[in-house]
Amino acid sequence: MIFKIPFLISHISSIMTLFEGDVILTGTPQGVGPVKAGQKISAGITGLLEVHFDVAKRSIPGRS
């Protein structure tokens, strides 16, 4: 792991509020590259929860 868990929690907490039960997804399985706009991502915990979301290009306020 490149970043240690305490650092990740600290960094994410500086950007947004973390609540009890929040899940921080980290890492990439070997052989998988970066995600690109238009792709669909699925993540979950077997037998408990599965979430799906679309990857979109980041919008920067003030830019077209």
Instruction: Output the pLDDT for position 45.
Output: 84
| 11 alpha-carbon distance from chain centroid | 13
pTM confidence score: 0.46
Instruction: Output the pLDDT for position 18.
Output: 95
Contact 57, 37 (CB under 8 A): yes
| Structure tokens that stand for 39 in this block | 């792709």
> Across the chain, which distance is largest between two alpha carbons, in Å?
43
In angstroms, the Cα distances linking 10 to 16, 21, 43 are 10, 16, 23
Instruction: Output the pLDDT for position 29.
Output: 67
* CB-neighbour burial class of residue 32 (10 A; exposed 0-12, middle 13-18, buried 19+): exposed
Give the pLDDT confidence of 13-58 residue by residue, as tens digits: 999 999 999 988 887 666 777 788 999 988 888 899 999 989 998 8
Instruction: Output the pLDDT for position 1.
Output: 66
Instruction: Output the pLDDT for position 33.
Output: 75
